[in-house]
Structure 1
Amino acid sequence: MNAHANKIDPVTNKEVTGNKDQPLTDAHQAMRVCHPDELEWNMLRYEGQTTKMMFHPTKEDPTVPNAGLVRYEAGSGHPLHSHYFAQIWYVLEGTFLIGGKTYGPNTMIFHPDPHFEHELKTDTGGVILYVQYMGPTTRQAPIYDGRFNLTERKKLEDETTAY
């Protein structure tokens, strides 16, 4: 008899398959894959920035993170602003002046929830991998619509710094 028969997974409340060649339960999802070459660069909320957001939350799947690349032109940046979600950045190319310090390739930056982001500037331009995810303490999801899928930018003075 299978040792896992009729066992219920305490997290998913689904029956454990007991088969080493299958996922633990039918609630366990397969990985999702996207390559940046499959996407075009899209306008981002700040001038001089474009993005290839490979994953993002939807109404059907709200816990998916915003995850993808942000490309900065030389001379671009963003002002100090705040968010309720959490995020990690990984600098792939270029150098960035953030909060008075310079960071370059292979630097990882963690923003807990809620957080603020220092003013960011780059003289070199560059690319940062962004992973924005639901705040573990705030339970606030990252914002995709109106940030990463723009057809027109707001004037910087009209852009909110509240979230």
Structure 2
Amino acid sequence: MKQTQLTLDEVLDHLKNRPATTSTYRVAEGVIDALPLTELPHMRVMDEAETQELADYLGTPASSLKGTLKVFDTQCSYCGRRVTFLDFAKSAVDLGRHSKDGLRDVLTGRNGAWLTIRGRDGGRPVNCAQCGSDVPRDVKMNGSYSEYSSGSYAYA
């Protein structure tokens, strides 16, 4: 995670001219809200049970998670689980990209706002939190602008 705080203009430039590798950046306040994270295909708002499942995994009350949690609307092609923010969070922890404590601090807003920008490397893998199978990128992305977002974090 890069500590340099990107402005909206810098983020938009990175999105037009993708970096070589997928990277996570701290962003200025308001940048996530200004991004068009609802471009087609649609992201859906996670329901209360899905939000609670993520909160339980992170060891925090669901009410502490900042903003509305949205996720690309797809299912695991192996077990049929509807993909949620938990799949992305658990994958990041299991792969050593982030710690649970670090994700909790970001998703509760205690550590500012962050944005992972998909690079020309195709992005980061995600595994189903239920069966552990890889969620194929073509199923996961299907051309969408973002895979998931909250009030303090997004993947674009």
What's the TM-score bracket when you normalise by the shorter of the two chains? under 0.3
Q: TM-score, normalised by structure 2?
A: 0.26
Task: Give 1 or 2 for the bigger CA radius of gyration.
Answer: 1
Answer 1 or 2: which has greater helix percent. Answer: 2
Q: Which has the higher contact order (CA 8 A, sep 6+)?
A: 2
Answer 1 or 2: which has greater strand percent. Answer: 1
Q: TM-score, normalised by structure 1?
A: 0.25
